[in-house]
Structure 1
């Protein structure tokens, strides 16, 4: 731990009331600015980097990605990777420069080199889910504070390691659950938790359908692009032949790297469900898959294309999560009415329930930017962020246990109810379901 970091911590302890937000620190006071590296500069990473720079939240000293730069991320025209990220940072540095010269942004393909740097205080980790634990734990152990995109974990077991690394090293970890920094979501979830709609009885969450189509059975491998370090991209995942649709944005549709839309959009709406129930670090007592549809066996994409699952909580509240046309939507139903919010707007059973509802901020105050700003503020003050590691873990666990039942659905069909022990994070007396929670991973640095 370097002297600069110690100074930041001690200063925050005596001057916390003055540290209201990251924007309170003058750009003319370099000693007050946090030095950050972005690890992962693909679709989401570039978007987060752009917001970080626009809001002037700190100094971006380095960017890291296994892809030098290429087209074809979420959309064909998207050109992302480490070199485009470096160019973005240095262009922004030049724009802000009074001398007419831009500060350099270093570029890396191996995140371990980033973690060795004493001058980097924090890292923003925006990589495929199967790399989250390894990079995050190594960063925490290297003394870095971490912003890690949602879903925080790739498996239930990953979360315990991330919690221990965060707490044992006295680090800040912010989960990229940006709805926690959305004032509209804050209003709705807090209203449900406060009993504004009476006793909460049912929550319905929506996750979007798969928004990309991959190759079906019999697909052919493709040559690895020269810009991509594919063995490192695979890392802890099984060795597999390369195809464009396996990587970049589309990784989320293969269980080797993610959990489909359940862990993608579901990490937001189901996190909000727990928030509105007031059980940020709790879980259900039972879970059941009601329906699931999959592509033909042998397709490159193997996550469920459509699904519907049910959870029951000790309070009696029932949670239904289902695929639908909206990417994210959460509806709270109570004995005295309902509240609903999502990407397409906010409604209620009675307009009076929405009195005081704030507007969703835009620009440098949008939820993504506000969530990054909250992280930087907490790096300075050492306060807990809005989505700390335990909250990110709990929300991810809900998605993982749902996926366990979804993956068993073709084998068992409807009517299979599994009891869940949230305290011990295991299915009760159901070894087949517990088997589905285990994610076999290789040594991430073995290549292949």
Structure 2
């Protein structure tokens, strides 16, 4: 990989030597305790936000609204630009720093606040002893590396979904969380959606009778790919492209490779199967009681790909079928709405769609007295997904979507992509977490990583 746009290793190492002094210098600018109500500074969870783009910026804002925590630092390889999902939005580390300081400044006596550092390299956040936890909302290909290093640095982690780029990446994340006694919340926020909890409640109560089939939707591509013959572009000023690539294969820069559009390229993500599937398939896994397991077979039904040589190489329209050991069949396919889960039983069906905004039951004879808080293993939350994470960082209890849950749900997505890419049927052993008797498919469990970024 070219080092033309790589960060200066010497300057980073120099920073690490002086980070303690930098943190001390920032101390006078902490928001006064009065701005946080009952949450005194000593009780607040301190945060560093890594990746403040299309998803990370709004997530950071939701944490800002939680007076039980305080954002001390942000990190992004993009200094600041438009070019995300909505071109009206300007994201990156400097807009994020301004957002944090503007928010806290409203509550300070002086009306201003200068206590948020903005970094290009995530390791600068991990080196700070005054940061308790990190929010990781980078492209998927960075999730495992950052999570493992954060856990080793003693940080708790809120990691956006899907948990990792590969099943092997996710296994490494589970190991790092448990070996270092960390809290990890997967950003599968439907786990804190009351409508989704209601669906799980009904299914697990037995009110639908014997469960036969589940149907899950994932969205279609919502961006247009440059076609075969596309040309590389100059790297924009303020964008550290070498660090953006990181462990991914070296590749020429194009604006449609990065920012929001990364998710349509298999080098960095898994298309809409892992994007929206991390929600709809997570609902299914939860409802079926498969948080510690998964299907035993995943089969290609249909997949449509762009012409060879297009910048986007993830399947555009998809349909794969999963079979569980108990005989339940799950069909996951491209459709509208983007996120939908329908569970069908012998006595009726129940569905939730549009990411939980609409909820319908289609099951005659369901009695309300068989659905409720007495049903085991149904998480009940009185607040949102971010607050649940902060509460668990303090209590050291398991969050709504712990690392194993994020891993198992995303595993179904990854297995679906493997079957689609190979046009085949994949047999899966949920206990050993290995593909059975298929070397070609097993090769997708891990991917080679480029370590030239790690200087």
Partner of 2:191: 180
8 Å contact from structure 1 (residues 73, 248) kept in 2: yes
Question: Are residues 163 and 195 of structure 1, via their aligned partners in 2, closer, same or farther at CA, if it must alter by over 3 Å?
Answer: same
Supply the distance in 2 between the matched residues of 1:444 and 1:123 (Cα, whole angstroms).
24
Out of 319, 325, 333, the position equivalent to 2:336 is 325
Tell me, yes or no, if the aligned pair for 1:192 and 1:277 is still in contact at 8 Å: yes
User: Deviation digits for residues 386-425 of structure 1, max 9, x if unmatched?
Assistant: 111111111111111111111112xxxxxx4322111122
Pick one of 422, 447, 450 that aligns with 1:408.
Answer: 422
Which consecutive segments of 4 or more residues in structure 1 shift more than 4 A?
351-358
Q: Give the match for residue 413 of structure 2.
A: 399
- Any conservation in 2 of the 1:237–1:444 contact (CA below 8 Å)? no
Query: 1: distance between equivalents of 2:39 and 2:196?
Result: 34
Equivalent residue for 1:348, pick from 361, 374, 383: 361
Is 1:426 the equivalent of 2:434? yes
User: How far off its partner does 1:444 sit?
Assistant: 5.5
Measure, in 1, the Cα distance between the counterparts of 2:367 and 2:266.
39
SS in 2 for 1:436: helix
The residue number in structure 2 matching 1:220 is 231
Residue 267 of structure 2 is aligned with which of 249, 256, 261? 256
1:31-110 superposed matches below 5 A: 31-110=42-121
The answer to whether the 8 A contact 1:36-1:123 is kept is yes
What SS class does the counterpart of residue 322 from structure 2 fall into? Answer: strand
Q: Quote the Cα distance in structure 1 between the aligned partners of 2:173 and 2:269.
A: 17
Q: SS of the residue aligned with 1:280?
A: coil
Q: Distance in 1 between matches of 2:367 and 2:138?
A: 37
Conserved? CA contact 2:213–2:345, under 8 Å: yes
C-alpha RMSD over aligned residues: 1.9
Corresponding residue for 2:162?
Answer: 151
> 2:148–2:173: 8 Å Cα contact kept in structure 1?
yes
Distance 2:105 2:365 in 1: 49
Q: TM-score, normalised by structure 2?
A: 0.87
Secondary structure at 1:43 match in 2? coil
How far the C-alpha of 1:325 sits from its partner, in A, is: 2.0
Write out aligned runs for 1:355-366 (5 A): none
**Unmatched segments (≥5 aa) in structure 2:** 1-35, 373-380
Deviations 1:280-330 (A, max 9, x none): 020111110100000000000000000100010011100100000211000
- Return the offset for 1:220: 0.7
Q: Indicate how the Cα distance of structure 1 residues 228 and 198 shifts in structure 2: closer, same or farther if over 3 A, else same.
A: same
Structure 2 match to 1:443? 451
Q: How does 1:207-356 map to 2 (within 5 A)?
A: 207-343=218-354, 345-350=358-363, 353=366
| 1:189-242, Cα deviation, whole Å (9 max, x unpaired) | 122122121111100000011111110000011110011000000001111010
Structure 1 distance, partners of 2:81, 2:364, is 48
Structure 1 residue 183: Cα displacement: 1.0
Instruction: Give the CA deviation at 1:179.
Output: 0.3
200-209 vs 157-166, which moves further: 157-166
For residues 110 and 341 of structure 2, the distance between their equivalents in structure 1, rounded to whole angstroms, comes to 49
Residues paired across the two proteins, number: 409
- Alpha-carbon distance change, 90 to 318 in structure 1, aligned in 2, over 3 angstroms: same
TM (norm. structure 1) is: 0.88
Counterpart contact for 2:43–2:68, Cα < 8 Å: no
Give, in whole Å, the separation in 2 of the partners of 1:120 and 1:329. Answer: 37
Q: Secondary structure at the match of 1:63?
A: strand
Tell me the distance in 2 between the aligned counterparts of 1:376 and 1:59. 11
Closer, same or farther in 2 for the Cα pair 1:434/1:51, shift >3 Å? Answer: same
Q: Is the 8 A contact 1:27 1:33 kept in 2?
A: no
Q: Using the alignment, how far apart are the partners of 1:118 and 1:395 within structure 2?
A: 33
For 1:170-201, what per-residue CA distance to the aligned partner results, in whole angstroms no more than 9, with x for missing partners?
11011110000111111111221221211111
Moved more, 438-447 or 281-290: 438-447
Q: Match for residue 213 of structure 2?
A: 202
CA change 1:51–1:352 in 2 (3 A) is farther
Q: CA deviation at 1:353?
A: 4.7
- Residue segments in structure 1 that go unaligned for 5+ positions in a row: 1-24, 359-366, 410-415
2: CA distance, partners of 1:302 / 1:57: 42
State how far apart, in whole Å, the 2-side matches of 1:433 and 1:300 are. Answer: 23
Greater Cα shift, 180-189 or 118-127: 180-189
1:166 CA drift (Å): 0.7
